[in-house]
């Protein structure tokens, strides 16, 4: 009887110290991921570009999106709009000042409005030394097995921000009105995540 009571107490104590949800780390597979942006040019068309170097990881239990915690780092000098002179200007102090601020970072804080595989990921985006809260609208795929049997999941996320909020203020007025570069930037992330062994 005494042994049974001690066993029961031990079992309760064991369960009490176990996490309710086992979190697992998932790494960004950079070779199958992209960070894209879109901005107005001359108020009439869209210029699109990418940041080609991204890394980071997500903590996720594989089932409940409320458990998601994410951190990502973008190398700002990896900006690519397929026009070398424009990219050089974007790396300068007029825009991203990549020599002074070599990275753009995102750290999540909470998850809201989960509807199936759709949810909002709220976090802090730091760019050019300024940190602002942003909301990512996220769509996740089911977990699948990769070519080597590893677990993978896909994520599509979007947000919109004002570059002026991050001190990226360069512009030129047009004779007919308006400006060369728009202020609103549309961001799209397509990420493939690999579960750590």
- pLDDT for residue 13 is more than 60: no
How does residue 45 score in pLDDT terms, banded at 50, 70 and 90?
confident
Extents of the domains making up the chain: 21-195
User: For residue 107, what pLDDT is reported?
Assistant: 97
CATH superfamily of 21-195: Lipid/polyisoprenoid-binding, YceI-like (2.40.128.110)
User: For residue 90, what pLDDT is reported?
Assistant: 93
Burial class of residue 76 in the structure, from the number of CB atoms within 10 Å of its CB (0-12 exposed, 13-18 middle, 19+ buried): buried
In terms of Cα–Cα distance, which of 49, 135, 44, 53 is closest to 95? 49
In the chain, the percentage of residues whose pLDDT exceeds 90 is: 64
Q: What is the pLDDT of residues 56-104, one digit of tens each?
A: 999 998 888 999 999 999 999 999 999 999 999 999 999 999 999 999 9
Helices (H), 17-167: 84-91
Q: What is the pLDDT of residues 144-170, one digit of tens each?
A: 888 888 899 999 999 999 999 999 886
């Amino acid at each position: 009887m005494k042994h049974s009571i001690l066993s029961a107490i031990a079992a309760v104590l064991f369960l009490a110290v176990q996490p309710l949800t086992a979190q697992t780390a998932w790494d960004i597979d950079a070779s199958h991921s992209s960070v894209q942006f879109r901005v107005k040019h001359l108020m009439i068309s869209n210029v699109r570009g990418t940041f080609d170097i991204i890394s980071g990881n997500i903590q996720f239990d594989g089932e409940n999106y409320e458990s998601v915690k994410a951190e990502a780092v973008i190398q700002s000098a990896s900006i690519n709009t397929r026009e070398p002179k424009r990219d050089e200007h974007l790396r300068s102090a007029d825009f991203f000042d990549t020599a002074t601020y070599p990275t753009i970072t995102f750290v999540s804080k909470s998850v809201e409005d989960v509807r199936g595989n759709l949810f909002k990921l709220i976090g802090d985006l730091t760019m050019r030394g300024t940190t602002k809260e942003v909301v990512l609208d996220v769509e996740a795929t089911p977990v699948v097995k990769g070519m080597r049997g590893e677990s993978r999941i896909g994520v599509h996320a979007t947000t919109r921000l004002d570059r002026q909020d991050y001190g990226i203020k360069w512009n030129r007025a047009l004779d007919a009105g308006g400006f060369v570069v728009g202020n609103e930037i549309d961001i799209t992330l397509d990420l493939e995540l690999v579960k750590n062994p």
